[in-house]
Amino acid sequence: MRSYSFSQRATAVSYVSIPSGTISSPSNLTIAFTKNGVTIPNTSSMSVVGNDIRLTLGYYLAQTVNDGMTYVISDTGVPIITGTIKILAAPAPTGVYLFSVGNLPGVLTANIFLAITNPATSNRTISFAGAFISSGTTGAATSAIPLRGRRATGVSGGTLQASSEITKLNSSYPDAFAEIRTDNPSATLGSAIFNSPSPRAQGAQSVGTVHDVELPPGSPPFLLIPGESAILRTASGETTQSWNITIVWAEI
């Protein structure tokens, strides 16, 4: 049985390549984790690319409390690779940023108002902290279609915002590496993250409340790995609706 130990950073979702040799079939692979003789629930995932087993620990398994745990990968029930995993402390963010845009009129057809993208070549991680959304109407508006946050890939087009339009929470931070796009960029839509209710009015204009979108206390961070984006989009709307959007993120 081959021995291979490695280090993994807490909260990271990047894979670790483990030389595998001959594998009967990827579907026959299983993995188990233990520490001090106690089994740790498996939240990892594995894939096989060429002669490598690519292991993703995920957030919960890669916590410092599991530092020094042992893993065993088996093929058809026969152990083939074992080792220990050192969990590294999470790095401090290199910067925290926000971008804000206001008075965006509603659009009758599907429209992406804002997209934040972690460039495919960044080799870094974006931790999406949340959004502040307010809305109102300039006249009658009856559409109940919400503004939805989604994961996305393949974001392009629209208007790429200059780094000078991105606010640094500390002026000493470097320029953000995140790409911010407005004006309906194209994207391949992923799963939904949140919904923000749309403003409605019978006739006179109205002003809605601010919707503070944030993760529940104690939950893992919402991460964008290289090539991933988060978008804010309506499937339809009315031109009498108006949106104000601010997003906040950290770069790791």
- CA dist 172 and 63 (Å) reads 30
The arithmetic mean of pLDDT across residues 68-87, rounded, is 92
- Distances in Å between the Cα of 204 and the Cα atoms of 9, 131, 136, 250 are 54, 27, 11, 40
Sequence ranges of the domains in the chain:
2-88, 95-251
Query: Domain 2-88: which CATH class?
Result: mainly beta
DSSP annotation of 59:
H
- Highest average pLDDT, of 58-72, 171-185, 210-224, comes from 171-185
Q: Is the pTM above the cut of 0.75? A: no
pLDDT, tens digit (0-9, with 9 covering 90-100), for 13-62: 556 777 767 788 888 999 999 999 999 999 888 888 877 888 888 777 88
Cα-based distances in Å from 196 to 59, 77, 228, 234: 27, 48, 21, 10
Q: What pLDDT is stored for residue 209 in this prediction?
A: 66
pLDDT band at residue 11 under the 50/70/90 scheme: low
**Complete edge-to-edge strand list for the sheet that includes strand 147-156:** 159-160, 179-182, 111-117, 228-234, 147-156, 186-196
> Average pLDDT in the 140-156 region?
88
What is the chain's length? 252
Q: Evaluate whether 172 touches 151 at the Cβ level (below 8 Å).
A: no
Q: Residue 162 burial (CB < 10 Å; 0-12/13-18/19+)? A: exposed
Q: Which residues, other chains included, contact 217 with Cβ-Cβ below 8 Å and sequence gap of 6+?
A: none
CB within 8 Å of 212: residues ≥ 6 apart: 130, 132
